[in-house]
């Protein structure tokens, strides 16, 4: 199938390109599939009764929630791993360390090698729309592309504007911020 991208010409209102029209790309997702649809498809492909899959799905979700809230990195077979983390500001003085430094909590998913390979080999089609909504160009790519590795921060070519570091538990001692 492939990944569909919409590149829409929009007027920039801030930053270096303020008051110019630039094409902004975003994935054009088809829709969100419900868990019942996923279970139905899994049942059809595997021959396993839907009620057994529903029960299994529910128990696996409970286990993932329980273990991840205990600070474990949880394997999602065939997909990758999931863990919880936080973004937090830094302070120089230990007396200033407190929960108010945490700026957000997050779920960190690290895809398996197989999933990254699948994404790398998936073709991409881009449809470009001008500011009036007219299609002005279509681009299709079936070449391999670079896949972001959330565990390798050196791959990010541009620093993010958020000055808060990820303290999602990569280090053995994260100062208690990941729990």
pLDDT tens-digit series, residues 37-93? 999 999 999 999 999 999 999 999 999 999 999 999 999 988 999 999 999 999 999
CA atoms within 13 A on the CB side of 76: 19
CA dist 125 and 122 (Å) reads: 10
Asked whether residue 168 carries a pLDDT value surpassing 60, the answer given is no
Residue 158 has pLDDT above 60, yes or no: no
Over range 129-143, report the average pLDDT. 90
SS3 4: strand
pLDDT value, residue 177? 37
Treating both helix axes as pointing N-terminal to C-terminal, what angle do 50-69 and 35-46 enclose, rounded to 10 degrees? 120
Please check whether residue 5 is in contact with residue 27, taking contact to mean a CB–CB distance below 8 angstroms: yes
Residue 171 has pLDDT above 70, yes or no: no
Q: Give me the percent of the chain exceeding a pLDDT of 70.
A: 81
Mean pLDDT across the chain: 84
Quick one: pLDDT at residue 170?
Answer: 38
* Cα(77)–Cα(29) distance, integer angstroms: 24
The predicted pLDDT at position 150 comes to 67
Domain boundaries, the chain: 33-62
């Amino acid at each position: 199938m492939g990944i569909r991208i919409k590149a829409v010409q929009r007027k920039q209102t801030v930053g270096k390109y303020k008051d110019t029209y630039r094409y902004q790309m975003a994935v054009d997702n088809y829709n969100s599939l419900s868990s019942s649809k996923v279970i139905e498809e899994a049942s059809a492909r595997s021959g396993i009764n839907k009620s057994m899959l529903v029960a299994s799905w529910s128990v696996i979700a409970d286990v993932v929630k329980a273990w991840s809230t205990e600070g474990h990195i949880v394997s999602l077979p065939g997909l990758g791993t999931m863990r919880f983390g936080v973004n937090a500001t830094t302070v120089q003085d230990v007396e200033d360390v407190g929960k108010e430094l945490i700026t957000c909590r997050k779920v960190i998913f690290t895809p398996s090698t197989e999933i990254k390979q699948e994404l790398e080999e998936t073709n991409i089609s881009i449809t470009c729309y001008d500011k009036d909504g007219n299609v002005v160009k279509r681009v299709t790519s079936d070449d391999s592309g670079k896949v972001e590795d959330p565990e390798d921060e050196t791959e990010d070519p541009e620093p993010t504007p958020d000055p808060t570091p990820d303290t999602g538990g990569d280090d053995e001692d994260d100062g208690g911020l990941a729990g």
